[in-house]
Amino acid sequence: MPIFDFLSGQFIDVIEWTDDTRDTMVWRFEREGHEIKYGAKLTVREGQVAVFIHEGQMADVFTPGLYMLETNNMPIMTSLQHWDHGFKSPFKSEIYFVSTTRFNDLKWGTKNPIMTRDPEFGPVRLRAFGTYSIRVKDAGRFMSEIVGTDGEFTADEISFQIRNIIVQEVSRVLAGSQIPVLDMAANTADLGKLVTGAINPAVEAYGLAIPELYIENISLPPEVEGMLDKRTSMGIVGDLAKFQQFSAAQAMTAAAQNPGGDGGMGAGIGAGLGMAMGAQMAQGPWGARPAAPAAAAPPPPPPPPVEHVWHIAENGATKGPFSKASLGRMVTEGTLTRETFVWTQGQDGWKKAEEVTELAQLFTVLPPPPPPGV
């Protein structure tokens, strides 16, 4: 190193950092032998903090402002003042500039599908991806936990670890959300807030924060999406017969517009389609009707009526159940009279036997009791 460059470096008294890379999170101010001149001016701009490392230990964190490095905690002797050490000061000091602005548009995504249970489709596999932003919240912790002695630390060096944390929490939130797949697109904002709240404690241990996280898309496997597209197409088509007539009319129109193409083949196709469409319309407005069967089968007989069973109330006790035939024999024997209370399934309470239409006919085979006084 030329002696002039070395000496000029000793008299530089302005320590600052201007960054135009947009991805550098930490930058170390380089000096010969990591020596900081006594009385140097430290300029910390908005969106930065400066971490002062003295003799291998973190001494202080400077927030935005202008500082004079003159305190007793600073290295006050440079190599020009220590000829006996051969231009090497025994005091080693470093200054790291840490950007506290947001680093935006960082990507995340699930490597493997997430298994979830959908209320409508059952077990499904989901993939998700989006963007997030990070910023340094605690510069001292970030330096001690992540950066170490790295002279230039970029966002790419920490983004892989942050992506792993995000994917883990996204998998947990999606699997436990109980939101149908078809409704997740309407809830991505709320899901993103849940994920952000879940991952912030983990990233705070690194001295970082996640100000924003966006879920851009939640997708199903291609084969499942294909089936959903078919289902959607069926809903759009509606009446299949009308759709066939419409398709035939379009094909006929296209063939008629090209009568000379392929040696008159277009005209022939158009005529054939027109005849087929005419036959369909002649059969009815809803297309072809199925051919009538050769011999109509007789309708099946109706099911037999359900036979009721009856209970009898006698002397405060319930007897039965009895069939209607059994009740007929009891009428003949005189053990069932018109005044006997009966009940069957579906009847509103107990009724006298003569009040029940179904049982009243049992008493017509016997003459009614004689009138009193005869």
Phi, psi of 235 (to 5 degrees): -65, -35
pLDDT tens digits, residue range 54-83? 777 888 889 999 988 764 434 433 333 333
In the prediction, which pLDDT does 25 show? 93
What average pLDDT does the structure give for the chain?
A: 76
36 and 128 assigned to the same domain:
no
Q: Over 70: is that where the pLDDT of 286 sits?
A: no
- Of 224, 241, 265, the domain-final residue: 224
- Any long-range contacts for 317-321 (C-beta under 8 Å, 24+ apart)? none
72 and 10 assigned to the same domain:
yes
The domain tally of the chain equals 3
Decide if 263 is inside a domain.
Answer: no
Decide if 157 is inside a domain.
Answer: yes
Decide if 151 is inside a domain.
Answer: yes
109 and 220 assigned to the same domain:
yes
In the prediction, which pLDDT does 124 show? 86
Domain CATH for 338: 3.30.1490
| pTM passes above 0.75 | no
Q: How far from each other are the two terminal CA atoms of the chain, in whole angstroms? A: 150
pLDDT tens digits, residue range 115-171? 888 887 888 888 899 999 999 999 999 998 888 888 899 999 998 899 999 999 888
Strand-strand pairing, 14-15 and 48-54 = unpaired
Q: Over 90: is that where the pLDDT of 107 sits?
A: yes
Cα–Cα distance measured from residue 206 to residue 222, given in angstroms and rounded to the nearest whole number: 38
For the four alpha carbons of 320, 324, 326 and 332, in that order, the dihedral sign comes to positive
Decide if 237 is inside a domain.
Answer: no
Decide if 283 is inside a domain.
Answer: no
- Of 182, 209, 224, the domain-final residue: 224
Expressed as residue numbers, the domain containing 75 is 3-99
Decide if 234 is inside a domain.
Answer: no
Domain CATH for 192: 3.30.479.30
Phi, psi of 228 (to 5 degrees): -65, -40
Whether the bond between 370 and the residue before it is cis, its omega within 30 degrees of 0, is: no
The Cα diameter of the chain in Å comes to: 155
Say which residue, 262 or 310, is predicted with more confidence: 310
Rg value, the chain, Cα: 46
Tokens coding 203: 């990233």
Q: How confident is the model at residue 5 (pLDDT cuts 50, 70, 90)?
A: very low
Among the ranges 33-37, 134-138, 259-263, which has the highest mean pLDDT value? 134-138
